[in-house]
């Protein structure tokens, strides 16, 4: 480890959707990679001479489990130097320089207020970590609504796993919503209509938003228009 940087080794790769891949990374110098659900790591990729142009940050998609292995889920961005390198050059056995855990996008100490986890695409990563952790440790909580927006059914990351968790956790509601799928029986449209409908009568709630800037900006405006204070809204911005 140098200045908080660790060498991680890629031990497993799985294509999750047509344009996303799951990366399992082991940090052999640590017995346990300890983090809070919702935190991220920064990778230093050999894609530029300047440090700040080599760094890419990704939320940890796995829950802390007492091991030195973490999972990242990464989308291939058209023209994106970081994701192009990760998809084209990184194989099982590749080394990746990483720093972390970093970030304060974590659940509050008390979970006695309703929580809305709102995301699109790979923004599901920190929420999967949070919900898996709550279930594994049987932590009591007020109702949690995970509202996950994608275009098509094939884009829904961790769909089977999250559906199963919803059957095991009485106060966890998994609500995938698709904007372009015609044969979909579930929620159609965008994430905003879903939380607005659930909150047609305002009540105390906390909001966690993760994904691309356009979705987060719109959600923040709409949630405040429902009468919520901006301090009830927590953001993790991608891109």
Where along the chain do its domains lie? 5-102, 114-238
What is the domain class of 5-102 according to CATH?
mainly beta
Q: Tell me if 101 sits within 8 A of 4, measured CB to CB.
A: no
- Report how far residue 181's alpha carbon sits from residue 106's, in angstroms, rounded to the nearest whole number: 32
Please state, rounded to an integer, the average pLDDT across all residues of the chain. 95
- Report how far residue 166's alpha carbon sits from residue 218's, in angstroms, rounded to the nearest whole number: 27
pLDDT for 52: 86
Q: In the structure, what pLDDT confidence band is assigned to residue 115 with cuts at 50, 70 and 90?
A: very high
Q: What backbone torsions phi and psi does residue 149 show, to the nearest 5 degrees? A: -100, 130
Same fold, 5-102 and 114-238: no
Work out the average pLDDT over 137-145.
Answer: 97
Q: In the structure, what pLDDT confidence band is assigned to residue 1 with cuts at 50, 70 and 90?
A: low
pLDDT for 2: 58
pLDDT for 239: 64
Work out the average pLDDT over 10-24.
Answer: 97
pLDDT for 51: 86
pLDDT tens for each residue of 46-63: 999 998 899 999 999 999
What's the fold here for domain 114-238?
Rossmann fold (3.40.50)
Give the pair of three-digit tokens for residue 198: 């659930």
Task: Give yes or no for residue 159 having a pLDDT over 60.
Answer: yes
């Amino acid at each position: 480890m140098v200045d908080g940087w660790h060498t991680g080794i890629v031990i497993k790769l799985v294509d999750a959707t047509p344009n996303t891949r799951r990366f399992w990374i082991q940090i052999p110098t640590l017995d346990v990679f300890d983090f809070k659900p919702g935190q991220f790591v920064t990778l230093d990729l050999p894609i530029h001479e300047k440090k700040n142009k080599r760094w890419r940050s990704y939320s940890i998609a796995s829950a802390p489990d007492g091991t030195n292995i973490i999972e990242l889920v990464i989308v291939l961005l058209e023209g994106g130097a970081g994701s192009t390198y990760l998809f084209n050059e990184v194989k099982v056995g590749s080394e990746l320089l990483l720093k972390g855990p970093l970030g304060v996008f974590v659940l509050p100490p008390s979970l006695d207020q309703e929580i809305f986890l709102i995301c699109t695409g790979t923004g599901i990563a920190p929420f999967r970590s949070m919900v898996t952790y709550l279930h594994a440790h049987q932590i009591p909580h007020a109702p949690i609504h995970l509202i996950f927006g994608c275009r098509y059914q094939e884009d829904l990351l961790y769909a089977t796993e999250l559906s199963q968790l919803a059957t095991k956790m009485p106060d966890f509601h998994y609500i995938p919503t698709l904007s372009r799928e015609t044969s979909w029986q579930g929620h159609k449209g965008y994430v905003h209509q879903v939380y607005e409908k659930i909150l047609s009568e305002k009540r105390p709630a906390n909001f966690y938003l993760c994904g691309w800037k356009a979705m987060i900006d719109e959600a923040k405006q709409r949630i405040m228009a429902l009468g919520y204070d901006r301090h009830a809204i927590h953001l993790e911005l991608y891109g």
